[in-house]
Amino acid sequence: MTVYDVIDAKKRGARLSGEQIRFFVRAVADGSASDAQIAAFCMAVLLKGMTDAECFVLTDAMAASGERCARPRAGGVYADKHSTGGVSDSTTLILVPVLACLGVKCAKYSGRGLGHTGGTLDKLESFPGLRVDLTPEQFEKQVERVGAAIAGQTQNTVPADKRMYAVRDVTATVDSVPLIASSVMSKKLASFADIILLDVKYGDGAFMQTPEEAVRLAKLMVSIGNAAGRKTLAAVTCMDQPLGDNIGCNAEVREAVEVLKGKKNDLAALSLYHCRKILAAARGMAEDEAAALAEKAISSGAALEKLAEIVYAQGGDARAIHDFSLLPLAPHVHTVRAAGSGYVDVSALALGKACCALGGGRTKENGDVDHTVAILLKKRAGERAEKGEPLAEIYYQKQDRDAFALAEGAFSLQENYRARPLVYAFIGEE
């Protein structure tokens, strides 16, 4: 068998055997498959597709291509949540402390932001001094002691996926559903979570534009997770407008803290939705009981204390939770005002791109992020605005008229507005 044989078979629409797929993934990981061959394979998959069984083998092989994360010795149930990316989505910073203070351990490996989507690791680093480069030993000990840790994966985790993704990014094969599913789930299977909840976004600010596309991807990832023996659930959620009211690292951390202090908005609603789904699965309880526990964790202050404990354990200055001067916003402010009157519509994608252009996101891997750049919404989609009313405030270091124009163009005023539901579908056991 050769790499050429595997590519040729998939090009002709053949169903690949487990042996063929594992052979190809080993060749990717050890370097014997060239970038050109990886590109050809990815294009063949994009055009010819894969069965669920092929996708599972591909995912499992990629997970096995590097080091698997050892399960901490501490007992209990471990949960993980993964979002396919969006704007102002800081649910992890809310969900992890809520679950951890209720006895569901969260040993979570997260990523950094790229383009208009924010990254959990970047947001966590808003806390002065916080480290996300934990060794496996540090990670395990923190989970045992605190009940939660959030860190970046090591270079030796899922190397086949890292190489394949780099090729997909420059060969127009990122939008292959089998390759998206295997990329996401290989990282989950390389870890040890008992329960995996996937937040699959659709809409203006998401990779999947329609709910039908998102459902297809969600069902495939749930199938892969369940085949691997993990309890896997998925919520298909709307990303037409930013999930929260704040965009930008420091600003989003501020808002996550506000939610843990009782603020109510879409960010809070979705975070608590995910919490109750995971709690119900982890503890075998009814969802209304799980929802009441999650609400109490917030109202009692226990979840906020747990966030402070996590931040402190990772070397961060937990005083920032109570002192927002330690989470500063950029000094200059540009206000976006309504050009007329009507019901507001907001583009999550445009606002995410505007924040990125001002330095609040990165345009290339390993680029710098200005944590102080922020866009604060003063009107959300569906609310009425009168001419001249503020729609958003942009906090910036260096003026960028193109970025301002992007942000201003993100808002439109309608005679009527119909919002799509925050949660379109849930896939998994009810």
Q: Which among 187, 188, 274, 306 is annotated as catalytic?
A: 187
Which is it for the CA torsion 321, 324, 330, 333, positive or negative?
A: positive
Looking at residue 199, what DSSP letter applies?
A: E
Is residue 389 within 8 A of residue 338, CB to CB? The reply is: yes
Is residue 118 within 8 A of residue 232, CB to CB? The reply is: no
Helix (H/G/I), strand (E/B), else coil: 356:
helix
168 in active site: yes
CA distance between the termini of the chain: 45
The two beta strands, 411-414 and 342-346, are antiparallel
Q: Which among 183, 186, 223, 271 is annotated as catalytic?
A: 183
Tokens 């999930």 correspond to 243
Closest CA to 421 of 313, 209, 249, 266: 266
Token code pair at residue 216: 């297809």
187 in active site: yes
Token code pair at residue 290: 């799980």
According to DSSP, the residues that pair with 392 across neighbouring strands are 336, 377
Angle at 222 between CA 219 and CA 227, to 5 degrees: 125
Distance between CA atoms of residues 185 and 223, nearest Å: 10
216 in active site: no
Distance between CA atoms of residues 1 and 248, nearest Å: 49
Is residue 105 within 8 A of residue 143, CB to CB? The reply is: yes
Q: Which among 80, 89, 161, 199 is annotated as catalytic?
A: 161
Element (H, E) at 47: helix 35-48
201 in active site: no
Backbone angles phi, psi at 79, to 5 degrees: -125, 155
Distance between CA atoms of residues 134 and 113, nearest Å: 19
110 in active site: no
According to DSSP, the residues that pair with 151 across neighbouring strands are 109
Q: Which among 22, 82, 108, 123 is annotated as catalytic?
A: 82
Q: Which among 10, 168, 188, 274 is annotated as catalytic?
A: 168
Which is it for the CA torsion 247, 249, 250, 253, positive or negative?
A: positive
Distance between CA atoms of residues 180 and 178, nearest Å: 6
Amino acid in the structure at residue 35: D
Helix (H/G/I), strand (E/B), else coil: 406:
helix
According to DSSP, the residues that pair with 197 across neighbouring strands are 81, 233
Dihedral, 402, 406, 407, 411 alpha carbons, nearest 10: 140
Q: Which residues are designated catalytic? A: 82, 161, 168, 183, 187
